[in-house]
Amino acid sequence: MAFSRLAAVAALCIYALAFAAAAPAAEQMRIVSLAPSVTEDLFALGAGPEVVGVSQYCDYPPQVRDLPRVGSFLTPNLEAIIALRPTLVVGLELSSDVRQIRALNSMGYPVLLVSDDSLQQIETSIEKVGDRINRGTQARGLVQQIRMQIAAIRERLAQVKPVRTLMLVGHQPIVAVGPGTYLDELMRIARADNIAAAVGQQWPHLGIEFIIAMRPQVILDGSMGSDAHSTDDFWKKYPTIPAVRDNRVLSYAEDPMLHPGPRVAQSLEIIARKVHPEAWPREVAGADE
């Protein structure tokens, strides 16, 4: 009796163990992400545990730092990707190397490409990724949440006057945020009139005299490779620019600003607070940015 009971328990244990081992294996995906924004999408949708490889630039959320790297998204390493036996590779449409994508496809690794040049595309990307990894509901929830955050900021800024703004990603050379980028769209929502809007390139390389002539009231300078101090050194040569004269050359961090993913509303809020601090009146006195 005792023996058969023991055997039954043992059998149950084995069954349970086998089930526990088999069940996740049935659904668990092995996803390789080729871009920081895609990695963020995946983690925000709760697929973090299924991400097995990321690009060299992925740094958010913090747990991705321990994941294997498969190269940059301009030049992903094919062998490193294959070695991870992915069931899905997700990259960016624009910056992916067509030959590598073709190679991955021909070897039977499914590839999903998304875009992030506008808010609409960022939302579509989240939904496309969500649908592909069986988290469509979460994806739509996340998009809804982003829309609500953006709507809240829109509402807060409803009464403020637009401010002539220049947003830079570097000043040697001077590369600005131009039309057709999600950052240009965020600037518009933040009621920041982009002085580079008429230039007609997504990331125009501008001359300093154009900037002097356009008289921006705020300059958001995210130039890589410079601390706030050296940014001052650069701008103080041009004191007639209103933003320089009024001490409104403001720096921003690359993260999350240049990550067009689920934290896009946060980026919007950073721009809005810098350009229109008056719209956050209670915090102006205490908080020091």
Least distance from C-beta 136 to other proteins, angstroms? 31
9 binds other proteins, rule: CB under 8 A:
no
Binding other proteins (rule: CB under 8 A), the pick from 240, 253, 281, 285 is: 240
Using alpha carbons only, what angle is made at residue 169 by residues 92 and 193, rounded to the nearest 5 degrees? 100
Least distance from C-beta 258 to other proteins, angstroms? 7
Calpha distance 52→43 (Å, rounded): 12
Q: How many residues bind other proteins (CB under 8 A)?
A: 41
Q: Which is nearer to other proteins, 79 or 283 (CB)?
A: 79
For 169-191, b/e burial (b = at least 16 CB within 10 A) is: bbbeebbbbbbebbbbbbbebbb
159 binds other proteins, rule: CB under 8 A:
no
In 217-263, which residue ranges form alpha helices assigned H by DSSP?
A: 228-235, 242-245, 254-257
Site string for other proteins, 71-110 (x = CB under 8 A): -x-xx-----------------------------------
Least distance from C-beta 58 to other proteins, angstroms? 12
- 194 closest CA partner among 216, 169, 172: 216
Calpha distance 182→190 (Å, rounded): 12
233 binds other proteins, rule: CB under 8 A:
yes
Greatest alpha-carbon pair distance for the chain in Å reads 95
Q: Which is nearer to other proteins, 142 or 211 (CB)?
A: 211
Q: Point out which residues bind other proteins (CB under 8 A).
A: 57, 72, 74-75, 169-175, 196, 199-201, 203-210, 212-213, 215, 224-227, 229-230, 233-234, 237-241, 254, 258
